[in-house]
Amino acid sequence: MAPAQGRATDGQWGWCNKMALIVQKFGGTSVGSVDRIRQVAEKVKGFRQRGDDIVVVVSAMSGETNRLIDLAKQIQAEPDARELDVIVSTGEQVTIGLLAMALKAIDVPAVSYTGAQVRIVTDSAFNKARIQKIDDDAIRADLSAGKVVIVAGFQGVDEQGNITTLGRGGSDTTGVALAAALKADECQIYTDVDGVYTTDPRVVESARRLDKITFEEMLEMASLGSKVLQIRSVEFAGKYNVPLRVLHSFKEGPGTLITLEDNASMEQPVISGIAFNRDEAKLTIRGVPDTPGVAFKILGPVSAANIEVDMIVQNVSHDNTTDFTFTVHRNDLRKTEDILRKVASEIGAREVGGDNRIAKVSIVGVGMRSHAGVASKMFEALSRDGINIQMISTSEIKISVVIDEKYLELAVRSLHSAFELDADADADADASGSDHL
């Protein structure tokens, strides 16, 4: 797939009075009822009346995929992966048919396609397939004929003709992949929020919507706990340079544009947002013999059990022993503890401890590349509120810390204020001529 070649926009919202090719993706809540499907149809009609070519990607109606999985589990406790894909892919098939009918009912020509009909070709990893290529000939022919094309998200077909699905949130990936294949001007992700915020507004009331954020920043925020976009879709968009815009399904507004870093606006805020994750657990294996290869002896069995490790800290050796600490998803705590107890016995470590009352808080921003003292400012803000840091991890554009879970919301509010991300701080900065996002 070649990189998307977007046309110039007016910089805010709208398309410079030029016809555009737009891929729009609507999630399960956006198409959760017949009334909502009709609302989506009206929104799509508005874009068509403006002259845009529209490809719509939809998820199954809210709750439908879970219902289908539950049905499968009533037959098999661990459903056969191939047959499960056959079952759950029907959810999107219902939605595309209903939306096509809703558009035709308001005099908008439309046609629906399953992933197999479009030939979204994937590998054969059932339940978690990856897209390999897309045959866009039929879509282009329908667009040329003036039709809105509706494609089932989340699904494809392998080279043997088997139905496959892309995993949870896969409709976002379908939308971005189609936008890349079609060289669309923009891929619009419609959801139940009106954009990407500096942090969760439910935690910080003064959090504000970002007009723009880079692929790198969004990828970090998605991986660190932000649930706005699926990680794979952001990776795909960055790889093929597909401009993404997050919008509210039923409210007007510019949303948030996710795009490449703009060198012309490098003097942007140091920090763009604060992400957090409550689904963390910490494990420590103490009194580990400080010998070469010991880290592999600890983490090798964990990896072999398909458990993802996040942050890792190894203490300075004392009396030829060390303490080794790392984090995993909270759901994997007990399983990992069992593995570590066996490892500890084999390598002669003293004890194993686990803690599921922790949380991870992260600051993210490409501006960190050109500003010193970001870490010290973060640590100072947490210190003022008496919040102890248990672990630290850094990259070029993010700093993450592990803290006691009971201090999570306090930490987020403190950092949001310290880095001047509050909405009122932004208004003050605008009044003084600042270049805040």
Please tell me whether 191 is known to bind a ligand: yes
State the Cα–Cα distance between residues 135 and 183, nearest whole angstrom.
13
**126 in a known ligand binding site:** no
Determine whether the annotation assigns residue 28 to a binding site: yes
- As beta bridge partners, residue 188 has 24, 245
Burial tier of 191 (Cβ tally within 10 Å: 0-12, 13-18, 19+):
buried
Q: In the structure encoding, which two tokens stand for residue 226, read together?
A: 């932000």
159 C-beta neighbours (distance < 10 Å), count: 10
Pair 436, 212: CB distance under 8 Å: no
Q: Is 165 annotated as a binding residue?
A: no
User: First and final CA of the chain: distance in angstroms?
Assistant: 32
Token pair listed for 40: 């989506």
| Residue 42, CA distances (Å) to 26, 99, 192, 249 in order | 13, 10, 17, 11
118 is in an annotated binding site: no
Report CA torsion sign: 189, 195, 200, 203: negative
Do the annotations mark residue 27 as ligand-binding? yes
Tell whether 240 is in a known binding site. no
Tokens of 159: 């080279």
The reply, when asked if residue 26 is annotated as ligand binding, is: yes
Q: Which helix (H) or strand (E) element contains residue 37?
A: helix 34-50
Q: What is the spatial distance between Cα 64 and Cα 120, in angstroms, rounded to a whole number?
A: 22
Q: What Rg, from alpha-carbon coordinates, does the chain have? A: 24
8 three-state secondary structure: coil
Q: Residue 193, annotated ligand binder?
A: no
CA-to-CA separations, 311 to 52, 219, 282, 300, 329, in angstroms, rounded: 46, 17, 9, 15, 11
Q: Do residues 281 and 325 make contact, with C-beta atoms less than 8 angstroms apart?
A: no
Query: How far is Cα of residue 376 from the mean position of the Cα atoms in its chain?
Result: 28
The CA distance from 320 to 123, in Å, is 48
Tell whether residue 202 is among the known ligand binding residues.
yes
Per the CB < 8 A criterion, the answer to whether 65 and 91 are in contact is: yes
Determine the Cα–Cα distance for residues 373 and 432; give it in Å rounded to an integer.
Answer: 24
User: Residues within the annotated binding site for substrate?
Assistant: 65, 92
User: Residues within the annotated binding site for ATP?
Assistant: 25-28, 191-192, 197, 202, 227-228
User: Residues within the annotated binding site?
Assistant: 25-28, 65, 92, 191-192, 197, 202, 227-228
